[in-house]
Amino acid sequence: MSHTFLRKLFLAVVIVSGAGVLAGNSTTLVGQEKDKAESKEKKKGKLPAYYGDIVSGTQRDKIYAIQEAHEKKIAALRDALAAAEKARDTEIEAVLDAEQKAKVATAKAEAAAKKAKAAAEKKAAEKGDKK
């Protein structure tokens, strides 16, 4: 990987982390406190595999709170990763000449058509099985 790409990736991670810290320190308005309490009641997290039958209700609530506390940071990191992957792919594509780019585009289109055809055949087969 190029030194420039690594610097860009590091900078993106630092910026996203800083934004997460700032967002965590935001203040809430009086009306928002009630909305947050209602959304916590409605929104449930997803327990890790094999935890459902093992943890108590109190532990379950603590796990949901931990997941919620980390979700913004994880989402920001996912966004940063997606941006870094896009930058990487753009740099990789820049290495190709026009003819190579056209061949790649054709290969992608053929793969998408093949996937769509397979999905259509699978759907048709499922309809045939149901009758």
Q: Give the model confidence (pLDDT) of 43-78 as tens digits.
A: 578 999 999 999 999 999 999 999 999 999 999 999
Measure the CA angle with vertex 72, ends 64 and 4; round to 5°. 140
- The set of residues, in sequence order, having a beta carbon less than 8 Å from that of 96 and lying 6+ positions away, is 104
pTM beyond 0.75, yes or no:
no
Task: Give residue for tokens 């590091």.
Answer: 10
pLDDT, one tens digit per residue, over 77-107 is 999 999 999 999 999 999 999 999 999 999 9
Distance CA 91, CA 70 (A): 32
Report in angstroms the alpha-carbon separations of 3 from 13, 14, 16, 32, 54. 15, 17, 20, 45, 47
Q: Would the CA dihedral through 112, 117, 123, 129 be positive or negative?
A: negative
**Which residue do the tokens 């093949």 mark?**
114
